[in-house]
Amino acid sequence: MVSFDARSKDPILTLQDVHMRFGGVTALKGIHYQVPRGIVQSIIGPNGAGKTTLLNCISGVLHPSEGVISFLGRSVESEPPHRIAALGMSRTFQHVALFPRMSVLENVMVGRHVRTRSGFWAVGLRTPTMRREEAAIGREAKAWLDFVGLADAAHLEAGALPLGKQKILEIARALATDPALLLLDEPAGGLNARETEELGELIQRIQARGITVILVEHDMNLVMSVSERILVLYYGQPLASGAPDEIKEDPQVIQAYLGDEWAPEEGKPIMNGRF
Ligand SMILES: Nc1ncnc2c1ncn2[C@@H]1O[C@H](COP(=O)(O)OP(=O)(O)OP(=O)(O)O)[C@@H](O)[C@H]1O
């Protein structure tokens, strides 16, 4: 078992003995882990290793069968997703989940409403207070679109954007909740090399704003370039944890991913493809 002490004494997220069972399948088998504030923490592992299940447990989409998950010092393993979001955790999904008929700007405004008193649908009543709040939400949503580089697309229908831009829009919507912790589930899936590079830059700018990022991703170039620390999951258990250079050279990780016959030649990068 890999147990990792946080560098910081005040981790943003702590997992203690987290198990997740689906009938006869045990997707997570006793995860102990801590994520320090302010880092980009990646979670990698072969298909079926339990990465998405772990994100779902952290964000309240699933409740773990056993174990404790603390976010900002508070146990959240039994909380519903909206309450966890209100505490300052936000996420994107592996498959884009936007409102395709709404504009790009409106999609971000929906994210922002997590933080407001009136709520998205109540705005339809249009009292003066709500109108003021709505105008402020619009300004903040525009600022986030600007931040991710989608300001020019603000009034387009979200469903009309190419996939790469829809994925960035999902990130803008997640950021609009003002998260302390942002979970990204395979954000590079379906992106081309240039878009993936831009995504990497965006993740670094998000981190520079003080937001902790947990990244689940198969694109190893992206993972290696943005992560401060990487957790490798294998059959529902942590196999290794460390800085990118340590993970690249970890024989157990190489074996888990590639098998002995794919061991790299001396001096060549190990993880430079998609798994
Ligand atoms: N709702 C579910 N019901 C039953 N089994 C599930 C469910 N969700 C996940 N599993 C199983 O749990 C294990 C972990 O799945 P998970 O999707 O978390 O892996 P992953 O590492 O995210 O994989 P990928 O890289 O392919 O997305 C797999 O064996 C999967 O079949």
- CATH assignment of 1-88+180-275? 3.40.50.300
Q: Is the CB of 53 under 6 A from ligand 1?
A: yes
Instruction: Return the domain boundaries, the chain.
Output: 1-88+180-275, 97-178
Q: Which residue, by CA, sits nearest to atom 25 of ligand 1?
A: 47
- The pTM assigned to this predicted structure is 0.87
**pLDDT value, residue 178:** 93
ipTM above 0.90, yes or no: yes
Q: What is the pLDDT of residues 151-207, one digit of tens each?
A: 999 999 999 999 999 999 999 999 999 999 999 999 999 899 999 999 999 999 999
Q: What is the pLDDT of residues 92-123, one digit of tens each?
A: 988 878 899 999 999 999 877 665 555 555 55
3-state SS string over 68-99? Answer: EEEECCEECCCCCHHHHHHHCEEECCCCCCCC
Burial zone of 179 (CB within 10 Å; 0-12 exposed, 13-18 middle, 19+ buried):
buried
Asked if the domains at 1-88+180-275 and 97-178 fall in one CATH topology, the answer is yes
* Angstrom distance (rounded) from CA 74 to CA 76: 6
Q: Is the pLDDT of residue 40 over 80?
A: yes
CATH 3.40.630.30 fits 97-178, yes or no: no
Q: Is 27 helix (H, G, I), strand (E, B) or coil?
A: strand
Helical H segments across the chain, by residue range: 51-59, 81-87, 104-112, 128-148, 163-175, 193-208, 220-226, 244-249, 251-258
Q: Is 238 helix (H, G, I), strand (E, B) or coil?
A: strand
From the CA of 3, how far away is ligand 1's center (Å)?
22
Q: Which of 20, 25, 94 to mutate to test the pocket of ligand 1 (most atoms within 8 A of CB)?
A: 25
Q: Is 137 helix (H, G, I), strand (E, B) or coil?
A: helix
Q: Is the CB of 27 under 6 A from ligand 1?
A: yes
| Closest atom of ligand 1 to CA, residue 45 | 21
**pLDDT value, residue 7:** 46
